[in-house]
Amino acid sequence: MNKIDEAVMYLEESGVTFCKNEIFSSIQDDFLKRYGLPQLNNVFIIDDLCFFYEPKLKTTPSEYLAIGCDGLGLICINLSTNEVVSLDSNLSECYMNNDFSEFIYFVYLYKKMFLDQVVEDEETEFKIFKRLKKNFNEINPKSLMKDTNWWSEIIEPLEFGLL
């Protein structure tokens, strides 16, 4: 079993299902073609990280496929690079992951290593975040390279007890 199948299986065991959409047949992303978008309890959501909805090409400039939102902007697939990005209201791009399968794998790690853990003390929580950041950096150093990248904005406030 490869790491993506492992991630999908773990998410499915926690109640997430995946829904295909015919629009994915026209894009490069193999994960979306094979599985589709995640949903939980009939809502396209992954915990409190982000919400997904039926993709629409007309909601963003033509080089993006909008697939969801994260509370601050639209989650999109950049159709020229296949990267997952968040676009704010000014259409400024915030890097998330190289592609959707990598994004799902990061969500899986975040959920398995942090959200699904019962943490008794701050020291243990700090060690979890150090391990999580190490894993993210080994997979894709770009994901945490800048403080303004999406995963940096998710992890660093939690790591330092700011949220």
Same-domain check for residues 51 and 89: yes
Structural domain count, the chain? 2
Same-domain check for residues 136 and 99: no
Final residue of a structural domain among 103, 120, 140: 103
| Residue 56 Cα distances to 52, 59, 61, angstroms | 11, 6, 11
Same-domain check for residues 94 and 44: yes
Same-domain check for residues 58 and 73: yes
CA distance 61 to 132: 33
Q: List, for residues 107-129, the tens digit of each pLDDT value.
A: 889 888 877 777 778 788 888 88
Contact 86, 94 (CB under 8 A): yes
**What HEC string does 96-133 produce?**
EECCHHHHHHHHHHHHHHHHCCCCCCHHHHHHHHHHHH
pLDDT tens, N- to C-terminus, the chain (163 residues): 788 889 888 888 877 777 777 777 777 778 888 877 777 654 545 555 555 555 554 445 678 888 877 777 788 888 889 999 988 878 888 899 999 899 889 988 988 887 777 777 878 888 888 898 999 999 999 999 998 898 888 887 766 654 4
Same-domain check for residues 98 and 128: no
Question: Which strand (E) or helix (H) includes residue 53?
Answer: strand 50-56
Same-domain check for residues 59 and 7: yes
Same-domain check for residues 8 and 85: yes
Give me the domain span that covers residue 90.
Answer: 3-103
What's this model's pTM, rounded to 2 decimal places?
0.81
Per-residue tokens: 146: 């800048």
Final residue of a structural domain among 79, 103, 127: 103
Same-domain check for residues 62 and 90: yes
Nearest to 136 by CA among 163, 81, 87, 96: 96
